[in-house]
């Protein structure tokens, strides 16, 4: 993807022409990133459809710049801001250029307000999947069902008026889609997989823009390997291996690039019961990579002592993680430190496309913006979970690794409420082991995207045998997802949950009760903390 467009300078114009020549295309869409955590998904969705999306900075790209670069379509993403409270800076004259424009969520509200449609901050909020009921036969919704599930996440609402044509509604949004001349808007997010027919909507918008010839999708794995080859040839690379799919895919990308001495470091301490076993099994006896197990249990527990808030625990984990990798990099004489950082990690940490729009920090990730003493390699930082897995399959990474459930970098720390002690760490690990073991035994592990067990600080009256007392409450959860930006709670069979609950309360003496969480993302996050 071309670098972010800030102004229509001669250099930027040359770069756009070069990018289009490579893609054998003559048309492109300009995407104004308004701070949404989903904006990169729009880029990926359009690329899959064979169209190039150039990301633009809303604060500096003016209507004159847009005229100069001449996109055939414009998209405004969503964002955490409100049209009433600190709206992102944007040249509203862009709306008057006559270029087909699609506003997504906040982007829709922005042009609606510009043309005088009533936008209210006091409507019923919508988070999660809702049913969109379209009216009429607008070309944006050609070939779509009359009713279709969509992912919504908004507080402000657009009211019906003569200012725009209402194209459809949901239960809580009277205008979930609208149009005025060359301006289209949707209150939901077509770029996420939860919006079942979202790809068709973007395909229809590209047709509206006149993009009929699409460039072929190339091999992303081979592109990354080619980029790495010149950079790492003859170098020493230290890679943080977790036993999960992302770091495993990065290791195989480095292997494919060749010419480098690679050392993997697995950091023991706050991990799942079987993480280390996966690292040893798939990397421990390979000639192309050296593996070291670094036991940082004491360091983690010392850093976490007395800390109860999730953010402060995450920050403590980051500190130890960085220190261990820095030490191992010095010992190895590493030229680079490699990590399995995804775009999801960056975006939830308040990073991503540097467009100047406000980006919400959802949670602190262990692997972002660490400032290592040697350059960092994050070859998957523009990918999300499903695309990273696709790259892994192209590289023939073992499927057992690819399908491992995502696991947070801070490990079991975010699955323990309150202070992390050796005792509750032992309990959390035991509970997690039982849950995952039963998911595998019931052939449910691969059918859910992620599952976990959180040791809460709530206590529950228990009766075990003839005695009575208090036991801790553990909260189980499992979700279906594609890329981790959104998720729906998984409806696991009741007999399965009963069996898991019985095992946990029988085998882990500290547990008095088991619950199951039924919240989607949004509004909840996938991990408890």
What's the pLDDT at 486? Answer: 78
* Angle, CA of 295, 297 and 299, to the nearest 5°: 105
**pLDDT score at 100:** 97
Residue located via tokens 């004491």: 298
Predicted confidence (pLDDT) per residue in 305-357, tens digit: 999 888 888 888 888 989 999 999 999 999 999 998 887 766 654 444 444 44
Integer Cα distance of 471 and 458 in angstroms: 9
pLDDT at position 524: 81
Residues 6+ apart with CB under 8 A from 338: 237, 238, 239, 240, 250, 251, 254, 376, 377, 378, 379
Q: Which residues lie across from 452 on neighbouring strands?
A: 477
429, 415 in Cβ contact below 8 A? no
Residues 335/373, Cβ–Cβ less than 8 Å: no
Q: What is the pLDDT of residue 412?
A: 86
The per-residue pLDDT for 362 is: 46
Structural domain spans, the chain:
10-208, 220-402, 421-516
> Which one-letter DSSP state was computed for residue 35?
S
Q: Give the pLDDT confidence score for residue 185 in this predicted structure.
A: 93
198: number of Cβ within 10 Å: 24
pLDDT of residue 466: 59
d(CA 500, CA 470) in angstroms, rounded, equals: 20
User: What are 432's two structure tokens?
Assistant: 């997690």
pLDDT value of position 510: 92
Fold topology of 10-208: Rossmann fold (3.40.50)
Confidence (pLDDT) at 79: 78
What is the structure's pLDDT at 99? 96
* Ranges under pLDDT 50 in the chain: 1-2, 349-363
pLDDT confidence of residue 326: 94
Q: Which residues are catalytic?
A: 105, 189, 191
Domains 220-402 and 421-516 are alike in CATH topology: no
What residues pair up with 293 in beta bridges, in sequence order? 266
Its CATH class, for the domain covering 220-402, is alpha beta
Domain 421-516 has what CATH class? alpha beta
| Among candidate residues 266, 298, 228, the one with its CA nearest the CA of residue 407 | 266
pLDDT at 477: 93
């Amino acid at each position: 993807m071309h670098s972010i467009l800030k102004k229509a300078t001669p250099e930027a114009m040359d770069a756009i022409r070069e990018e289009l020549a490579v893609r054998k295309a003559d048309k492109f869409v300009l995407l104004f990133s308004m701070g949404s955590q989903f904006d990169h998904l729009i880029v990926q969705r359009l690329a899959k459809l064979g169209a190039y999306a150039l990301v633009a900075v809303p604060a500096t790209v003016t209507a004159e710049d847009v005229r100069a670069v001449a996109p055939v379509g414009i998209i405004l993403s969503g964002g955490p801001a409100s049209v009433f409270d600190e709206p992102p800076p944007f040249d509203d004259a862009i709306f008057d250029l006559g270029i087909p424009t699609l506003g997504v969520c906040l982007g829709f509200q922005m042009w609606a307000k510009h043309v005088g449609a009533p936008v209210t901050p006091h409507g019923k909020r919508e988070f999660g999947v809702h049913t969109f009921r379209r009216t009429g036969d607008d070309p944006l919704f050609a070939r779509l069902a009359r009713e279709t599930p969509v992912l919504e996440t908004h507080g402000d609402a657009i009211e019906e008026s003569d200012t725009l044509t209402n194209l459809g509604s949901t239960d809580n949004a009277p205008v979930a889609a609208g149009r005025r001349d060359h301006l289209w808007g949707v209150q939901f997010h077509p770029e996420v997989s939860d919006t079942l027919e979202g790809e068709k909507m973007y395909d229809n918008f590209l047709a509206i823009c006149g993009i009929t010839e699409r460039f072929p999708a190339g091999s992303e794995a081979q592109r990354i390997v080619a980029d790495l080859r010149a950079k790492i040839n003859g170098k020493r690379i230290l890679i943080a291996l977790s036993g999960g799919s992302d770091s495993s895919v990065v290791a195989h990308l480095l292997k494919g690039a060749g010419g480098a001495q690679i050392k993997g470091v697995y950091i023991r301490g706050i991990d799942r019961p079987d993480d280390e076993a996966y690292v040893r099994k798939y990397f421990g006896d390979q000639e192309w990579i050296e593996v070291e197990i670094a036991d940082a249990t004491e360091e983690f527990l010392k850093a976490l002592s007395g800390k109860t808030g999730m953010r402060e625990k995450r920050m403590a984990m980051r500190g130890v993680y960085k220190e261990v990798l820095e030490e191992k990099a010095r010992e190895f004489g590493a030229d680079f430190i490699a990590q399995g950082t995804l775009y999801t990690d960056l975006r939830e940490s308040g990073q991503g496309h540097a467009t100047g729009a406000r980006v919400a920090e959802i949670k602190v990730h262990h692997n972002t913006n660490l400032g290592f003493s040697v350059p960092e390699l994050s070859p998957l930082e523009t990918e999300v979970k499903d695309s990273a897995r696709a790259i892994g399959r192209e590289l023939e990474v073992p499927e057992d690794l690819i399908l491992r459930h995502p696991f947070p970098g801070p490990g079991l720390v975010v699955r323990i409420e309150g202070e992390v002690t050796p005792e509750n760490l032992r309990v959390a690990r035991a509970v997690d082991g039982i849950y995952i073991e039963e998911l595998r035994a019931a052939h449910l592990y691969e059918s859910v995207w992620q599952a976990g067990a959180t040791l809460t600080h709530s206590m529950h009256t228990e009766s075990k045998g003839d005695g009575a007392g208090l036991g801790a409450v553990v909260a189980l959860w499992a979700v279906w997802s594609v890329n981790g930006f959104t998720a729906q709670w998984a409806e696991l069979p009741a007999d399965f949950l009963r069996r898991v609950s019985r095992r946990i309360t029988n085998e882990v003496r500290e547990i008095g009760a088991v619950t199951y969480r039924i919240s989607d993302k949004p509004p909840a996050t996938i991990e408890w903390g």
